[in-house]
Structure 1
Amino acid sequence: MHFFELKDGVLHAEGVSLETIAEQVGTPTYVYSAGTLRRHYGLMRDACDAHKGALGEALIAFAVKANSNLSVLKVLGAMGCGADTVSEGEIRRALKAGIPASKIIFSGVGKTDAELAFAIQQGVRQINVESSTELQRLIAVVKSLKQDPTVSGRVANPDVAIRVNPKIGAGGHAKITTGGAGDKFGVPVEEALDLYAVASSSEHVNPVGLACHIGSQITDLTPLENAFKVIRGMTETLREQGHTVTRLDLGGGLGVPYYGETNTPPPADYIAMVAGVLDGLNVEAAFEPGRLMAANAGVLLSRVVHVNERTDGRRFLVLDAAMNDLMRPALYEAFHDVKPVRPVDGAALPHDIVGPVCETGDTFARDRELAPLKADDLVVFMSAGAYGAVMGSEYNTRPMAAEVLVDGGRWAVIKPRPTYEDILSREPIAEWL
């Protein structure tokens, strides 16, 4: 569900015409719908609240890596949403957006000592530990902070969860599958049980639970259910061994309908499945949706540069957006529906949709059926609110796309497009040159 609809023959974001945004901000520009973000969070919140008996006061922690814009985080944080973070920078973004440290989870396989120290001093909700080496480093960092006379205030033992690799991988592409035996995330079941015991014996960390995330863009609940059953069994084993387990971080990964599919499981069915698996465990669950919350809450607005109809019959729709603006098609062969902002008449024709970057990989789609378009027409890439702007770059010295938030009839630029002067000013020339 989203709030990008035709009104008076023009595509709108809620109450604002995308033509208006293009005229005043230019293209390419990401446009986000605050109403869609609120709706998606509300669906997850309602589903969790309906199963409090099995899930406790479940935390919904938005995966900041999906869309880290401060205004997007502010919209979600104002509704009570937490944050799943994978860097000090993301923690800082969540805090600046008003999300309290008590609702911030710190994940990731390569946390530096400095990042761990920052998270500890901020008092984040929990740190998800992904290896034996990281656990030992974390313990050493806590000990060092406690002994450091320059650190003000009491340093509390951080709550930690051990991330499990259940050897059950799933997702829309091999590069976004994270729970398989060969993936870099987490540790195998037996090692996780041993690490929990090590953490329990430490004077410097407080083990509270287990964490698991098996992949992204998952449209079948079966692998998720199987993974969560592994986590339930581990919880029971740990308790039998005398350990306390009060939280289960179940990650994210539920897919969204990029193609307009109707078989993608709704959040209510997903949460009901989880509640069935966890029923009777008396734990507090955490969920880390990213794509589910943000993908359909955003579009990438672009303008047609020209249409190149070659003598060999191929038709190239050349846009001012490129792979540096939306990387997913080049990186994952991902599909994004492309729609004209003002629908045009005419029979659909096959188009190769491409950008201006000097690489063949700068191709969004091959042989996509579209009604005839012409130079200066506006189009949007749908479902672009997740893993779009956050993966952008200035490749080919192209200014990154601007970002706009729409809320009803109001709208604002929430990340300006840099000027060429901005870009060049960041690179001081070596003084001897």
Structure 2
Amino acid sequence: MPTQKTSHPAAQETAPEANSAHGMFDGVDLQRLAERIPTPFHAYSASAIRQRIGELQAALAGLDATICFAVKANPNLAILQLMANAGVGADIVSAGEMRRSLHAGMPPERIVFSGVGKSADEIAGALAVGIHRFNVESHDELLTLQRLAEAQGVTARAAVRVNPDVDAHTHAKISTGKAENKFGVSIDEARRWFAERGRLSHVQLDGLHVHIGSQILTLEPFRLALQRVAEFWRELEQDGHSINSIDVGGGLGVSYRAGTDQPVSASDYVNVIRTALAGYKGRVLLEPGRYLVAEAGVLLTRVIRVKAGVERQFLVLDAAMNDLQRPSLYDAWHDIVPVSNASRPLTTYDIVGPVCETGDTFARGRELPGCAPGDLLLIKATGAYGTSMASTYNSRPLAIEILLNQGRYAVVRRRQHFEEMIAGEQPARNWETT
């Protein structure tokens, strides 16, 4: 693979952490910030994101590699602009994510389009702007891509997403590489696509793609999946098929539970890629999402009240499941700590929000220093799949988002106004018949 000699000063930085003992995050005093901006709000550390990008870029040194941020993890324009400024591209799964990426300054040649349900309109729009590559997930999609590219008089670059039937040992709802999952096609089917690719006049089928799941904390699933992809790549080359791109997906896990989660390092992960793809001379694409932004984000929230139940005490927060769905959706753990360093006896709480759902629960049986109404809490590692999965359930407005950077902060999404929430709604005045 061609060598790219690039310096990555960000890799030398020390990533800031949300330090509850001192209430600081990326040089910003969170207590004072919460006095200026009403909770709940999401705060992201630009320094932490740059460090993660730098670590991955440094590990990839010498490889012809392109990092494409999985936009679904956090689509805020300020985050995408930060990625673009660092030379990172985008992995998109919708036309909306494509428009966000382009608006943020990511060039089309650094955008790849993934997803099992691309519509004809989305494909046509992506062809029109000249995105780099389509990760194709079904034969019907391949034929649709051929038809639409021919209609526009362009040639689409495409990779087949193979499903290697590898268990990522992650939560069932974020596992994507087993035969029972909806993503990708079997290697047998992919083999037939390449055998028939001469019929594709307007699709250049010259890539492979694999992605087996998210929040993966061991190297073995990556190693096994990439070994199977590498075997297929070598087979295809022996049969005369040029493979100019191998997309190794994403899935690198992060630490949601201090002392328990032990994520793999970027360098160890890239070494697995180097070993599996030894001798490969094409481009390697990577699609990290959670790895780049999860631990760079926190959700600031205040205690509304402490409710004593018959069997347990409830800590009721002003943040809710509409602000952070992961605990409700996946039973996901997030560390939750007080911002104040006041010494108080430990108390066991169920930590919940105000939404009228039993599932609006952030934690059960969690020990915290005794809390009182008005206390400020920090829910950690919310930079990925926090605001991107948020909703206005119970007619709660979307939360504020703030970018922190070495002692400064900027609001990058203001709190949604009620009028904005109902802007698309109207009384039924104009009745029509079909």
TM-score bracket, normalised by the shorter chain, equals: over 0.9
- Preserved CA contact (<8 Å) 2:303 2:316: yes
Task: Supply the AA of the counterpart residue of 1:204.
Answer: H
Distance in 1 between residues matched to 2:194 and 2:251, nearest whole Å = 25
Aligned residue number for residue 41 of structure 1: 53
Counterpart of 2:239 (choices 235, 241, 245) is: 241
Q: Give the conservation status (yes or no) of the 8 Å contact 2:206–2:241.
A: no
Whole-angstrom distance in 1 between the partners of 2:289 and 2:32: 29
Give the paired residue count: 417
The alpha-carbon deviation at position 391 of structure 1 amounts to 0.3
User: 1:352·1:366 contact (CA, 8 Å) conserved in 2?
Assistant: yes
Summarize deviations over 1:39-81 as a string: whole Å, max 9, x none: 00000000001xx2xxx32011110000000000111110100
How far 1:33 moved relative to its partner?
0.4
Identity level (%): 43
Which of 11, 16, 21 aligns to 1:3? It is: 16
Residue 304 (structure 2) aligns with:
305
* 1:215-364 alignment, distance < 5 Å: 215-260=213-258, 261=260, 263-310=262-309, 312-364=310-362
RMSD of equivalent CA atoms: 1.5
Question: Which residue of the partner structure matches residue 109 of structure 2?
Answer: 102
Quick check: 1:2–1:296 contact (8 Å CA) kept in 2? no
Partners of 1:159 and 1:370 in 2: CA distance: 53
TM-score, normalised with respect to structure 2: 0.93
1:160 counterpart residue number: 158
Residues 204 and 428 (structure 1), Cα distance of their counterparts in 2 relative to 1, 3 Å cut:
same
Q: CA deviation at 1:321?
A: 0.5
What is the Cα deviation at residue 13 of structure 1?
A: 2.0
Query: What is the Cα deviation at residue 19 of structure 1?
Result: 2.1
Query: Structure 2 residue aligned with 1:169, among 161, 167, 170?
Result: 167
Task: Summarize deviations over 1:261-318 as a string: whole Å, max 9, x none.
Answer: 46321111000111011111222211100000010010011110011123x2411000
Shift of 1:347: 2.3
Distance in 2, matches of 1:328 and 1:27, equals 19
Cα distance in 1 for partners of 2:167, 2:193 equals 22
Structure 2 Cα separation of the partners of residues 25 and 173 of structure 1:
35
Q: Is the 8 A contact 2:164 2:186 kept in 1?
A: yes
Q: Does 1:392 align with 2:399?
A: no
Aligned pair in 2 of structure 1 residues 429, 234: CA closer, same or farther (>3 Å)?
A: same
Alpha-carbon displacement from aligned partner over 1:363-389 (angstroms, at most 9, x marks no partner):
111000101011011111100000000
Structure 1 residue 11: Cα displacement? 1.3
Which runs of 5 or more structure 2 residues have no equivalent in the other structure? 1-13
Structure 2 Cα separation of the partners of residues 350 and 380 of structure 1: 17
Q: Report the equivalent of 1:188.
A: 186
1:2 CA drift (Å)? 4.2
- Deviation of 1:415 after TM superposition, in Å, equals 0.8
Mind listing any 5+ residue stretches in structure 1 that lack a counterpart? 147-155
Q: Which residue of 2 aligns with 1:64?
A: 71
CA–CA separation in structure 1 for the residues paired with 2:355 and 2:252: 32
How far did residue 5 of structure 1 move?
A: 3.9
TM-score relative to the length of structure 1 = 0.93
Aligned-residue offset at 1:425: 3.3
Q: Is the 8 A contact 2:66 2:110 kept in 1?
A: yes
Q: Could you give the per-residue CA deviations for residues 148-171 of structure 1, whole angstroms, max 9, x where no partner exists?
A: xxxxxxxx3111000000111315
Counterpart in the other structure of 1:149: none
Q: Which of 364, 377, 380 in structure 2 is aligned with 1:379?
A: 377
Residue 14 of structure 2 corresponds to residue 28 of structure 1? no
- Distance in 2 separating the partners of 1:316 and 1:76: 39
Could you tell me how far 1:141 is from its partner in structure 2?
0.9
2:149 is matched with which residue: 118, 121, 142?
142
Q: Does 1:83 align with 2:85?
A: no
Which of the numbers 108, 116, 135 marks the counterpart of 1:128?
Answer: 135
Aligned to 2:4: none
Q: Secondary structure at the match of 1:345?
A: coil
Q: Is the 8 A contact 1:353 1:364 kept in 2?
A: yes
2:419 corresponds to:
421
Q: Secondary structure at the match of 1:425?
A: coil
